[in-house]
């Protein structure tokens, strides 16, 4: 299965800068699984199936990622260096 950039964007509910934007380490207890602290961005998705499909896009395009569950948002999330179309340069 090939996931397009547009499909990837449709799978995510929210996203923001991860590294350097917020002191996420002070909130580390909200994440259930080990998460990569050095990635640039974090994305949230509604369910685990969306996380798997979204990270398939990242795999296909050779972007590293880590998946976790964010108890504060009650959603799955993943970090990566992939900058989606929402990032303004």
Q: At which residue do the structure tokens 């929402």 appear?
A: 86
- At 50 the pLDDT is 96
Report domain extents, the chain: 5-80
Using one digit for the tens of pLDDT, what is the confidence trace for 49-85?
999 999 999 999 999 999 999 999 999 999 999 998 7
Q: What's 34's DSSP letter?
A: -
Confidence of residue 32 (pLDDT cuts 50, 70, 90): very high
Integer Cα distance of 66 and 39 in angstroms: 9
- At 88 the pLDDT is 61
pTM of the model: 0.89
């Amino acid at each position: 299965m090939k996931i397009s950039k547009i499909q990837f964007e449709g799978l995510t509910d929210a996203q923001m800068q991860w590294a350097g934007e917020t002191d996420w380490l002070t909130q580390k207890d909200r994440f259930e699984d080990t998460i990569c602290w050095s990635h640039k961005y974090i994305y949230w998705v509604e369910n685990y199936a969306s996380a798997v499909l979204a990270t398939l896009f990242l795999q296909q395009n050779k972007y590293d990622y880590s998946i976790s569950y964010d108890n504060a948002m009650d959603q799955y999330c993943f970090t990566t260096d992939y900058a989606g179309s929402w990032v303004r340069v």
